[in-house]
Amino acid sequence: MQRLNKYIASSGLCSRRKADELIESGVVNVNGKIVKELGFQVGSKDKVFVNKVLIHPKKLEYYKFYKPAGYITTSEDEKGRKTIYDVIPKELQELKPVGRLDKDSTGLLIMTNDGELINQLTHPSVKVTKVYIVSVEGKVNVNDLDTMYKGIEIEKGKIAYADAQIIEISNSSTMLQVVLTQGLNRQIRKMFEYLGHPVISLKRIQHATISIEGLKRGQIKPIKPTQIKDLRQYLAKLEKQKND
């Protein structure tokens, strides 16, 4: 037996928190009866419907994918642009990306059918770290790094923060490591644009505890169970810090 919200989340439909909302709204039916009790328990023989659709628990899968440049992070595009699903094998097409990388960016995408994990990794209240290697035009200085750390208004009412360190400076460009705990749209590009240093290239190398290590561009590999365990412990620690 397991709680109804966990059963719904294990179908890949949504997170447990969203499942609770669905239960309370009266759209969840168990064996022909509407259930609104959050702690309701179900077993393997029970039939669970959400919005009149029968759901089943799925085998949860976790992969890491090295996104190449030139692909958008979505399953379909009305403009006919190439998507990551043009690269990902057909048998893994049901996996969803955790967050996004814009068309010109490369690097790590966690891919999974675990709706609860996706929610945990992307919810704005949980400050999950993401690490990038970024090359920009011109010579970035210490004042630029300080400005990024203190915050830049990239859109009206939206302040973006980043912890950046210079790796290498050449005559015409600077390479940096940038760490984010936010997920604003095109955040890094907009911050450097504000500073007068347009981005040349941007690659995500780490998301939470999962790194791009061992992947070639365009390659997708399963994430080891021990790594998923470490990831869950990391998220639990962040959740505890948020609530303290």
Helix (H, G, I), strand (E, B) or coil at 77: coil
Q: Is 102 a catalytic residue?
A: yes
Of 20, 77, 86, 102, which is the active-site residue?
A: 102
Q: Look at strands 53-55 and 48-50 and give their pairing.
A: antiparallel
Cα gap 144→146, rounded to integer Å = 5
For 130, phi then psi, to 5°, come to -130, 135
Nearest to 14 by CA among 136, 96, 102, 111: 96
Q: Which residues fall within 8 angstroms of residue 122, CB to CB, at 6 or more apart?
A: 98, 99, 128, 183
| Tokens describing residue 129 | 């770290």
- For 137-144, which contacts have Cβ atoms below 8 Å and span 24 or more sequence positions? 137/172, 137/173, 137/197, 137/198, 137/200, 138/172, 138/173, 138/174, 138/196, 138/197, 139/169, 139/174, 140/164, 140/166, 140/169, 140/174, 140/176, 140/195, 140/197, 144/195, 144/197
CB atoms within 10 A of CB 191: 26
The catalytic site residues sit at: 102
